[in-house]
Structure formats: structure tokens, C-alpha cells
A and B are shown apart, each in its own frame.
Chain A
Amino acid sequence: MLTAVPLTELDRGQSGELLGSELAGVDRQLLAALGLCESSRLRLCKTGDPWIVQVCGTRIGLSDAVARRLFVIPDP
């Protein structure tokens, strides 16, 4: 069974599905509005602060504080 890991544990170039986040309030809303909501498929383009993910056609930069709170089910 595949388990979710923090985004920061993915390797560069690895893809996965966003399971959820520990963010709350407006941060969570903004993340979803940017395209990073539950079940979104993403690819990690760059590791380290800032972490850069690609979701559909968008590249999104995330600070360490955000990336640590995102949980992703990595593709096998």
C-alpha cells in the first residue's frame, strides 16, 4: 500500500498525487486556488528552498515551511 510522505521527501523529477496539507485558512485557500488541492497531480521540479512543483501548466514556488506541510502519494 502506498503511503503519503511530505513533499520534501520526494526526489527531483518525481511525480505524485497531493493527498492533503497541514495548512489552514487563507494559506490553504490560496494553495487550492493556485491549483494545489487534494488529488492534484504534481511533479517536483526543484528540491530545496524554494521547492518548485509543476501542476498542470503552472510552476509554483513553495517555501520550506509550506513544502514540509504538503503530503504526497508518490507514483510507484
Chain B
Amino acid sequence: MKNVKVLGSGCNKCRVTIDTIRATAERLGVEIELEKVEDFARIAGYGVMATPSVVVDEVVVHTGSVPTAKSIEGWIA
């Protein structure tokens, strides 16, 4: 099972990102471990400078915007 983290603190785009990832996983029937990281020290630890960012299995795959459903499929499928 893949571990997916959404980095970002409370902004609207971060919520949309979480919802889109959850919906995509459900649609594909893939089980993922979805986690929201709001602590700035942890976010900085990943080296990203724009939120929302997405981390899949500890690798930063996306940064600075809401990812498209298509790219999410590519990460979790």
C-alpha cells in the first residue's frame, strides 16, 4: 500500500488536493494511506517551497498546485 502525504497548512487548495486524491483512489479501487502534513518544520524537511505538495512513499512528486486526476492516477495506480 502506498503512503501519500499532502503537505500544506489549511489553504483551500490543500483541501481540494486531499479530496481529489481520495476520490481518485476510490474510483480506481486502490487502497492508499493518505496523510495530511501541516507542521511547517516537517514540510520544510521535504525541501518544498510551495504548497500544496504531494509526497508518495517519501518522494516529492508534485509541488505548488492542485494536481490533476491524471497525474494522481500515475502515482498511485
Tell whether A pairs with B. no
